[in-house]
Amino acid sequence: MIQKPKGTYDVYGNYGKNLLYLRDLIQTLMEKYNYQYVRTPMFESSELYHRGVGETTDIVSKETYDFIDRGDRNMTLRPEGTAGVVRSFIENKMYGEASQPIKCWYYGTMYRYERPQSGRFREFCQFGVEVFGTSDPLADAEVISIPVNLYKLLGLKGIKVNINTLGDIESRKKYRETLLEYFKPYLNCLCEDCQKRYETNPLRILDCKIDKDLDIMKNAPKISECLNDVSKKHFAKVKEYLSAMDIDYEINENLVRGLDYYTHTVFEVEANVEGFGSQNVLCGGGRYDSLVETIGGPSTCGVGFATGIERLMTALEYENKLPISNNSLDIYVIPMEENQKNYSLKITNILRMNGFNCDVDTMNRNLKSNFKQADRLNCKYIIIIGEEELNNKILTIKNNVTKEEIKISEEELIEFFDQNIASEN
């Protein structure tokens, strides 16, 4: 039997319903924030990710799915969303639009060759946002508020923001030199990856999962020691705006994030999820004021975040917040005999076109079996169509909760359900 590739999974049933509900909830939230939807290709030129994400990141050096297409071009399945959105921003000249800043959101599959584990797959889905064209720290705070509010809407508790600053280019350069000097005597104590990072991007040593408990890591210089006044003022404003929105945050000076392009604000948002252990982080992001220019566009500020949908769904499951979707069906239509199917389909179609979630029996069940099916579908109302209903165009409506039955004419159908179902939703 042919099976799905390792690190992938099938979406179906109630899990599929919950995923669609979550996507719709995200779309509604993004409309409230006035963000526009953007979709980029699932594969792009490999050069985009090498230049954008960074040669020294684990994503590019270890995890990308790379291939050569029939035109002998080096292509990569997208491992994250930001680089592709930046490419689209440049290619479509969004920087020239009159309405600024450009505020985008995306939702789609990503691909990384990594060890599969709970809530982490090789094919996975991310929701993220990107804001281009403003250096105002207010934009940083607004971006941070999006996942915070999403997780609260979903019923997760203990939402907290871990935040740090990497400073501007000048501050980051000074910090890099400070770290090089500090770690030089301890190179032999670091893991193989960190020894390479020392040469390429010493800030990423602080993000190491292997060496994180070493004393040399705990005693490493802090970025706050290298910040200039501009960077300090930016970070102070971000914290001020978060407080204005009553968003809890904690400064974590070891937080650097795993991507090379961040400047100024970096953050992660966590929730108190029972069973997740010490790693409750659900999303991360930050500001990247030089990324657009690095990829070939004009000098443009940017800030964004991404959250993994699978990890979020796992968190909801652990916290008993599933199902998040309304799994009930509005109306189930039962034709009693073969000659009543045409009329049943007509009624079903009318109901669907008037906005009701509706299904009709196609298995030729008897009435008792159809009532059981209506219960399985968590159906609110049942319409029974027999010979009398067909001839007189009088419909038998059964409330599947109270079990009460009434008869109404076909002309009264939509008005009845508008009053009895629309008012419930």
Three-state secondary-structure class, residue 123: strand
Where residue 51 falls among pLDDT bands split at 50, 70, 90?
Answer: confident
Q: Is the pLDDT of residue 372 over 80?
A: yes
Q: Where in the chain is the domain with CATH 3.40.50.800?
A: 329-422
**pLDDT for position 88:** 97
Single out the residue of 409, 416, 338, 347 nearest to residue 380, CA to CA: 416
Taking only the tens place, the pLDDT of each residue in 232-287 is: 999 999 999 999 999 999 999 888 765 667 889 999 999 999 888 767 899 999 99
Average pLDDT, stretch 283-294?
92
Contact, 280 vs 311, CB < 8 A? no
Any idea what DSSP says for residue 4?
A: P
d(C-alpha 293, C-alpha 300), whole Å: 7
Question: Within 13 Å and on the Cβ side, how many CA atoms surround 143?
Answer: 36
* Paired sense of beta strands 123-132 and 302-308, if any: antiparallel
Q: Is the pLDDT of residue 57 over 70?
A: no
**pLDDT for position 254:** 81
**pLDDT for position 56:** 53
**pLDDT for position 197:** 82
Residue 61 vs residues 71, 196, 203: alpha-carbon distances, Å: 24, 12, 17
Percent of the chain's residues with pLDDT above 70: 95
**pLDDT for position 184:** 86
Average pLDDT, stretch 308-336?
91
Average pLDDT, stretch 100-115?
94
Average pLDDT, stretch 359-382?
96
pLDDT averaged over every residue in the chain? 91
Under 8 Å CB-to-CB from 91, ≥6 apart: which residues? Answer: none
Task: Look at 80-94, 151-165, 274-288 and tell me which has the smallest mean pLDDT.
Answer: 274-288
Where residue 394 falls among pLDDT bands split at 50, 70, 90?
Answer: very high
Q: Is the pLDDT of residue 356 over 60?
A: yes
Taking only the tens place, the pLDDT of each residue in 112-130 is: 998 877 667 999 999 999 9
The larger pLDDT score, comparing residue 280 to residue 26, is at: 26
Q: What is the dihedral of CA 234, 152, 323, 24, to 10 degrees?
A: -50
Percent of the chain's residues with pLDDT above 90: 73
Q: Which of 109-123, 176-190, 259-273, 345-359 has the highest mean pLDDT?
A: 345-359
**pLDDT for position 423:** 54
Under 8 Å CB-to-CB from 36, ≥6 apart: which residues? Answer: 102, 103, 104, 105
d(C-alpha 361, C-alpha 296), whole Å: 57
**pLDDT for position 52:** 65
Write down the CATH superfamily of domain 329-422.
Anticodon-binding domain (3.40.50.800)
Which CATH architecture is the domain 13-168+228-318 placed in? 2-Layer Sandwich (3.30)
Provide the whole-model pTM: 0.88
**pLDDT for position 401:** 93
